[in-house]
Amino acid sequence: MNRKRFDSTSLRGGPAIRAVDPWTVGNPRSGEAHQLLTDDERARLAVFASLVRFKKGQMIYRGGDPVDAVYNVVSGVVKAFNGRDHISAFLFAGDLVGLSEEGHYVNSARAVTPLTAYRLPIARLQHLLRHDAQLEFHVICKLCQELRQTQRHAFLVSTRDAAARIAMFLQLLEQLQANRQEPVNEIHVPMNRSDIAQYVGLSPAAVSRTFAKLVGDGIIEERDRHHIKVKDRARFDRLSAHVSGASS
Amino acid sequence: MNRKRFDSTSLRGGPAIRAVDPWTVGNPRSGEAHQLLTDDERARLAVFASLVRFKKGQMIYRGGDPVDAVYNVVSGVVKAFNGRDHISAFLFAGDLVGLSEEGHYVNSARAVTPLTAYRLPIARLQHLLRHDAQLEFHVICKLCQELRQTQRHAFLVSTRDAAARIAMFLQLLEQLQANRQEPVNEIHVPMNRSDIAQYVGLSPAAVSRTFAKLVGDGIIEERDRHHIKVKDRARFDRLSAHVSGASS
DNA sequence: CAGGAAACTTGATCTGGATCAAGGATCGTC
DNA sequence: GACGATCCTTGATCCAGATCAAGTTTCCTG
């Protein structure tokens, strides 16, 4: 099942940024994220990038701390969260972590699974960015992707129906999984129920009940808490479409 | 009251991008957004930018349409929304509108007030971006800002307490107003109650009730539906802090 | 492998906002 | 300034999910 723990191409080549291009239309396989950086760009980043590892649950940085680096996830999952009880994003291989404002991280980040990432000191990164238009263009593409993602999150959270939220959440995971070119016959859910609750804006109890309901209705199937299979795709998709009101 | 309908510096100089810098720490007035572009950059954009006007309520583009331009707001307010009943962002002077994915707009945009904006055809814009590292760097700063904003929106929408949502929303407007260096003794609310409802994720009825409650509690005061004053700052701020759970 | 802690599930009750509906204010237009 | 259309407010009812709590499973560590 876990034949390759790391995407070897990512490890060998240096930092990697995956995203769906905002402007290029009709690529080979539509909707699929690809590696944005050229080998050359990755090499230039690799010069000052250091590969770092975090244990499951380990803090990567705290909101409010002065920014010293941006992280590029190689393998594993990160959660970015606001002090209290809200997760603003889960970050996967090919993502950039470390959003800041006026020199300080705007939220905290913690490893959800064992994590490998490139650490990019911002001073060096900024310098490189200011002189490399091509690289910057790719960073812009990535930021657009994260912006779209965050907008979808806000949309997900704005619906009142718990089943719709969970369905949208699972769809999100599924899509990211497809982007990473992993098999999608089963959805891998690396985070625990509490984290899901904090991401979708429900209580842990409600998340649990909703999963139970989806299983009971024959819409999904749970191999274990971290592996879910969609049994009735039509109804599954309808859940997320039927959000509060008429379908236009 | 409306001495200057347009920010003349913006009109004269060409497109303008306002944002809080993600990395530079401790600027003159902290927390204040400034013009990111140099006169030179604005001039280069102005070469192919055209100033366009939209009437209140007019559609700017539809989600799913092929992207042909990005818009830079000069004056007025835009809402970006998903087909149904959800507004993902309000955009003001200095903002960029026209997020896309694989060559198509991801959401629709409509003028909330009479609007003036620069229209930047993407082909030309992309070309310029790919060759101008400095300009790109500024676009990256702007995207980081929009990303933070959208994360805050997701956070706002994830709370269950209606009063907290409205308070956070008003704080947002107030902060943006300060960023634009307009007086902040009063909060200007350019959009109608329905739009607020669709942004904060409540029913119009609940928005109405919540405003009534805040006024009744002496926390805010309504000069009219579009001009609000905070009367009890302490309780106002506590509303948005006291979001579901203990204060750490 | 055993023990304890953390995470998860499930039940019962309660509440805040959705919804439906009707009346009132405001805006834009002629 | 009068008209119609839209937007806004307010009331009454209802329900989905929060909360509290107890029992169960899973995970981690020694």
Closest partner CB to A140 (pick from B66, B122, B136): B136
- H runs (alpha helix) in A63-161: 122-131, 133-158
pLDDT above 90 covers a percentage of chain B that reads 77
Q: Are B155 and B244 in contact (CB under 8 A)?
A: no
N-to-C CA span, chain B: 42
* pLDDT digit string, tens, across residues A55-67: 999 999 999 999 9
Q: How far is the CA of B55 from the C1' of C26 (A)?
A: 19
A28 shares contact with chain B (CB less than 8 Å): no
Considering only CB atoms, A151 lies closest to which of B22, B88, B244, namely B88
Token pair in block for residue B174: 């107030």
pLDDT at B31 over 80: no
- CB < 7 A to strand C: residues 214-233, chain A: 225
How confident is the prediction for chain B on average, in pLDDT? Answer: 89
Residue A241 banded pLDDT, cuts 50, 70, 90: confident
pLDDT at A85 over 90: no
pLDDT tier at A24 (50, 70, 90 boundaries)? confident
Closest listed residue to residue B139, CA positions, set A91, A74, A186, A142? A142
Q: Give the long-range contacts of residues B27-35, CB within 8 A, separation 24 or more.
A: B27/A102, B30/A102, B31/A102, B31/B175, B31/B178, B32/B178, B32/B179, B32/B181, B33/B94, B33/B145, B33/B179, B33/B180, B35/B9, B35/B94
**Which positions in chain B touch A243 (Cβ < 8 Å)?**
84
Residues B81 and B194: beta-carbon distance below 8 Å: no
Q: No. of H helices and E strands in chain B?
A: 8, 15
pLDDT (0 to 100) of residue B33: 76
Contacts of A30 in chain B (CB under 8 A): 102
Q: pLDDT value at position A247?
A: 34
Confidence of residue B242 (pLDDT cuts 50, 70, 90): low
Gap from A209 CA to C9 C1', Å: 8
Whether chain A has a CB inside 8 Å of the CB on B25: the answer is yes
In this complex, the residue of A25, A134, A137 whose CB is nearest that of residue B103 is A25
Q: Which residues of A touch B26 (CB under 8 A)?
A: 102-103
Give the pLDDT of residue B30.
60
Q: Tell me which chain A residues have a C-beta less than 8 angstroms from the C-beta of B41.
A: none
Instruction: Give the best residue of A81, A84, A161 to mutate against chain B (max B CB count within 10 A).
Output: A84
CB A77 within 8 A of CB A115: yes
Q: Are strands B86-91 and B220-224 parallel, antiparallel or unpaired?
A: unpaired
pLDDT of B10-19, one tens digit each?
456 789 999 9
Q: Are the Cβ atoms of B140 and A139 closer than 8 angstroms?
A: yes
Pick from A136, A180, A135, A122: nearest CA to A43: A135
Question: Number of residue pairs across A and B with CB atoms under 8 Å?
Answer: 159
A110-138 pLDDT, tens digit each: 999 999 999 999 999 999 999 999 999 99
d(CA A157, CA A161): 9
- Per-residue pLDDT, averaged over B230-239, amounts to 94
Helix, strand, or coil here: B36?
coil
pLDDT tens for A157-187 read: 999 999 999 999 999 999 999 988 888 899 9
* Local confidence band at A246 (pLDDT 50, 70, 90 cut-offs): very low
Nearest Cβ partner for A147 among B147, B158, B248: B147
Q: The tokens 């099942």 sit on which residue? A: A1
Instruction: Return the pLDDT at B77.
Output: 96
pLDDT of B212 over the 60 cut:
yes
Predicted pLDDT of residue A34: 82
Q: How many whole angstroms separate alpha carbon B127 and alpha carbon A115? A: 37
* B137-187 residue pLDDT tens: 999 999 999 999 999 999 999 999 999 999 999 999 999 999 888 888 999
CA distances from A113 to A67, A191, B236 (A): 23, 8, 39
- The angle subtended at Cα A80 by Cα A76 and Cα A84, nearest 5°, is 135
How many angstroms separate the CA of residue A69 from the nearest CA in chain B? 11
Confidence class for position A242, pLDDT limits 50, 70, 90: low
Nearest chain B residue (CA) to A244: B85
Give the model's pLDDT for residue B50: 95
Strand C contact at CB of residue A114, distance < 7 A: no
Closest CA to B155 of A193, A83, A216: A83
User: A22 and B99 in contact by Cβ < 8 A?
Assistant: yes
pLDDT at A51 over 90: yes
Average pLDDT of chain A? 89
| Tens digits of residue pLDDT in B42-96 | 999 999 999 999 999 999 999 999 999 999 999 999 999 987 789 999 999 999 9
Residue A3 pLDDT > 50 = no
Scanning B155-184 for CB atoms below 8 A from A yields 155, 157-158
Q: What is the pLDDT of residue B90?
A: 97
Nucleotides of strand D within 7 Å of the protein's CB atoms: 7-12, 16-21, 26-28
Handedness of CA B240, B242, B244, B247 (dihedral sign): positive
Compute the nearest-CA separation of A102 from chain B (Å).
Answer: 5
